Amino acid sequence: MKYNTLGKTNIKISELSFGASAIGGMFNNVEKDEAIKTVHAAFDRGINYFDTSPAYGRNNSVYGPVTSETILGNGLKGLKRSEIILSTKAGKTSSLPPELNFRYGAITKSVEASLNRLQTDYLDILFLHDIEYNKGIELNIALNEGLEALRDMKKAGKIRAIGISCYSMEVLKKVIPNYNLDTVLVHNHYTLINNQLLELLPKINAKHIGLVSASPFASGLLTHQGPPDWYPITHQDLCVVHKTINYCKENNVPLEKLAIQFAVSNPEIPTTLFSCTQQSILNKNVDWYQEPIDPDMIKNVQKLLEPLMNKDFDFGEYND
């Protein structure tokens, strides 16, 4: 496993990292014990960076809406804290349906609750979560009260680095040059169907901001399992993906393998977050990460996926 320094911080993270959205039940049902074993398997394979959020869970889950943080906390409990890079988020308290609150007091309260669920006394990184959601109605509050709360908690030693997570390219292009951030988490913008992260790299590098790229499988779209029920997808889009999956089967190469290999292929991206709930899938992804990439297969698959290239799925709009 390769490790990279995150921007101007002294935080060193694994090039492939573990996103804990899936163990919060965001894509399918979760078996708690297997999820914990998957966290252990990730660490054993050299992954040192784990990301979660209080919003990763379903309200109808038997574990409640904070499933991901609770399970991840239990999974990391037996590991040496100094060997783990841990991030969570604040401001988005629920995903299905989304609930937002970026007020100063709400952020500090959220972080204290997250620390308790994660069974730790500090966070390596804290992101304000999906600041553009609900047509940006909370954006100004997030960038003022929300960031102020993060800065104060960083001064108090509860957070090592602060940042935002966001999907909207319009918002990212405005925020990155104009706000003092240690990190930024960008999801769904460096995949087989999206290369818009390349537009942001000069702005990110100019500010020496640490970059976390998430969702190499386009939030489940580029998988055999297919996208979750909340995905803003059309039948026509799915037909394009199914055609591509069939092509990959004919060539004995899983689409997921090409997706993860493409996502980690850019040396300017320090880490790529992927998510899963089973040890077997975790190990497959790490194995694929370590194998040589086939540029011809990548090129052929991207040609099939061309109708979806840089399509704006507008997750924030969909989740109003």
Longest Cα–Cα distance in the chain: 56
pLDDT in tens, 174-184: 999 999 999 99
> What pLDDT shows up at residue 232?
85
Q: Tell me: pLDDT of 227 over 90.
A: no
pLDDT level of residue 319 (50, 70, 90 thresholds): very low
> What pLDDT shows up at residue 310?
95
> What pLDDT shows up at residue 61?
43
Domains located in the chain, CATH noted: 3-318 (3.20.20.100)
Q: Is 289 a catalytic residue?
A: no
> What pLDDT shows up at residue 67?
82
Contact assessment for residue 92 and residue 129, using Cβ atoms and an 8 Å cutoff? yes
| 58-80 burial code (b ≥16 CB/10 A, e <16) | beebebebbbbbbbbbbbbeeee
Phi/psi zone of residue 260: left (φ > 0), alpha (ψ -120 to 50 degrees), beta? alpha
pLDDT in tens, 149-193: 999 999 999 999 999 999 999 999 999 999 999 999 999 999 999
> What Rg value do the Cα atoms of the chain yield, rounded?
18
pLDDT in tens, 73-100: 999 998 999 999 999 999 998 776 778 8
> What pLDDT shows up at residue 320?
37
- Residue 100, token pair as written in the block: 């937002």
Contact assessment for residue 90 and residue 54, using Cβ atoms and an 8 Å cutoff? yes
Q: Tell me: pLDDT of 62 over 70.
A: no
Catalytic hit among 63, 122, 179, 247: 63
- Pairwise CA distance, residues 174 & 125, whole Å: 22
Backbone CA torsion sign across 272, 276, 278, 284? negative
pTM comes to 0.94
Q: 101 φ, ψ to 5°? A: -160, 105
